[in-house]
Amino acid sequence: MDVLVGKVIRATETCGAKTVSASGGVSINRRFREKLTAACASRRLRLLLAPPNLCTDNAAMIAALAYYKSQKNSSNNFALDVAPSIGLGAVA
């Protein structure tokens, strides 16, 4: 947690931001919240933490979707056309 919190604080300071926000699966971790709260308080940074009920794990949601999609697809063909070096494209 020390490394993660340190990176968050360093990024905040590098950008000159005065507010830190955290959400998603990792932000539900109690120790992470404690350490981030203390680090922000000591630097007088505003901290916005998503409520625990909104800190879901995206991997779990993707797995649930995959399950239901596999049930819908009776062929169970899980072959994928993978392009590992594909670009993300231009940002509009």
As a 3-state breakdown, the chain gives helix, strand, coil percent values, each rounded to 5, of 50, 10, 40
Q: What is the pLDDT of residues 37-79, one digit of tens each?
A: 999 999 999 999 999 888 877 777 788 888 887 787 766 666 6
- Is 0.85 surpassed by the pTM of this model? no
CB under 8 A, 24+ apart: contacts of 6-14: 6/39, 8/36, 8/39, 9/39, 9/40, 9/43, 9/45, 12/45, 13/43
In the chain, domain spans: 2-72
The per-residue pLDDT for 61 is 76
**% of the chain surpassing 90 pLDDT:** 49
Is residue 91 predicted with pLDDT exceeding 60? no
Query: What is the amino acid identity at position 36?
Result: L
Is residue 23 predicted with pLDDT exceeding 80? yes
